[in-house]
Structure 1
Amino acid sequence: MAARRLLIVEDEFLIRMTLAEVLTDDGFEVLEAGDADEALATLEREPDLAIMLTDIQLPGSIDGRALAARARQTRPDLPVIFMSGRPDPGAANTTLDLHISKPYLPSTMSAAVRRLIGDS
């Protein structure tokens, strides 16, 4: 099931809950974090995540871009979807990254997750 496990890092509870519900319904095993610090702890104890979805603006010690950089210190091939309410063309700067602007349709996010993990 590791190929279908993902981490959602989003401080807005309703957005995180809705996205988690949609992705769970689509067959993914979803872990959730409300800030960067919680996400780092999850990344440390969950070595088999297939992908991380993170808001760029996060509470905690670091933002979503720095969170992705820290995650890739131990998992250089971890795909990341950056979510933001503001345009941020610099967020997705590798072939493992994707930037999706808010608001988005949950079906758009599900398709993006599948594309990045090679599960079309």
Structure 2
Amino acid sequence: IITFDGYGVSGHCNHCDVHYGVRRLLQENPQSLQAWELVSTNIFRKYSGPIDIWLSMLLAIKDTDRMHCLLNEQPKKSFHAMSEHSSQWVWFRKLFVSFSSYTYVNTLRKINV
């Protein structure tokens, strides 16, 4: 399972609730499931675009058993995917997809319960 971390990238209550729901599922089924959470970054890193790739990679190297850094080698596909959802493809989402480090790199951390 891949989910949000406790902050949920933006602090959105739905994202946070998904995280806590997955943690509960893991607690009830500790042997049969494995889950990873998307690591939320601070606002400066969040909007640093591809610049954050280097820092994300360095931080993930420190704990390779629990963290994996995933690079998006084709960020244009992110733009295309979002543009397919016309109700979502508004000006501020265009800015987000352009400047968000999550378009270019994502760090997953193993959830241990």
> TM (normalized to structure 2)?
0.33
RCO comparison, higher one (Cα < 8 Å, 6+)? 2
More helix by share: 2
**Structure 1 or 2: more strand by fraction:** 1
TM-score (norm 1): 0.32
